Amino acid sequence: MGYLKIDKLGPNGTIVNVQLDRPEMRNAFNTEMAKEILETFQDLAKSDARVVILSSTNSKAFCSGADLKERNGMTEEQWKEQHKLFEEAFYAIADLPQPSIAAVDGYAVAGGFEMALNCDFIIAADTATFGLAEAKRGIMPGCGATRLLPKRIGAHIAKEWICTGQMVSAEEANKAGLLNRLTTTDQLMEEAYILAGDMANNAPIAVQAIKQAIDLLNTMEESQAREQEIVFYNRCIDTEDRLEGVRAFVEKRPAKFVGR
């Protein structure tokens, strides 16, 4: 049984919408679902997709985290072994060369919140709820929250959310700076598609270089970052898309980028 639905959108299917589809469990991911996520995003990384949207077939839940019913009774070794798979699945999302957008409605809690954090952008409906309640279960987030949430909202707010395990409304999340867009359930996918389209219309080599540069350069010492920035820049120069972009500007027409 598959737990994902995949749709290709936009001209030539350049925008891919990956929908989590385990509604009876609020999209809680078990071992098989994690394997499917890993394989899907590994395949997308090698595809011609320009932007990937991660969403849910169920407006009541984006994802409620790991399936604790499956985990109940696991030995310590089994738990750790399963978590390695979860790590690989989440890293596949984060390491996607293409930009990724989490379109969130309903609950995005525990690993579900972390799944969204591993995307580049988060758009949420005003009915979305975020939370990291792992401390209430005797553990801590293990798929990126302590690394990624502080980058979006600051360390002091991230510590409060994670250490208290509090639930956070979409409005509060937006005020904290977590979201790129706050919208309604009815407009959620349209907003995600508009953002995806704005990026998919641009030169894919340039967009991917920008994503990688922003992710990497902020972790480097300044002189090293300056050198590496030009490496990314030069990737864009020797491309057909760079020539097309200049021609299109001179000829006052939309550019037709091919990813070469």
Catalytic site residues?
Answer: 66, 111, 114, 134
Chain-centroid distance of CA 139 in Å reads: 23
Residue 170 token pair: 């979409």
Rg (CA), the chain: 19
Residue 244 token pair: 């097309």
Residue 18 token pair: 């990956």
CA distances from 210 to 41, 216, 238 (A): 20, 10, 16
Query: Following DSSP, what letter does each residue of 168-222 receive, concatenated?
Result: EEHHHHHHHT--SEEE-TTTHHHHHHHHHHHHHTS-HHHHHHHHHHHHHHTTS-H
The DSSP code for 23 is G
Angstrom distance (rounded) from CA 209 to CA 259? 12
Number of CB atoms found within 10 A of residue 24's CB: 7
Q: DSSP alpha helices (H): ranges in 4-153?
A: 31-45, 68-71, 76-94, 111-117, 145-153
Query: Following DSSP, what letter does each residue of 113-172 receive, concatenated?
Result: HHHHHTSSEEEEETT-EEE--GGGGT----SSHHHHHHHHH-HHHHHHHHHHT-EEEHHH
CB 128 within 8 A of CB 82: no
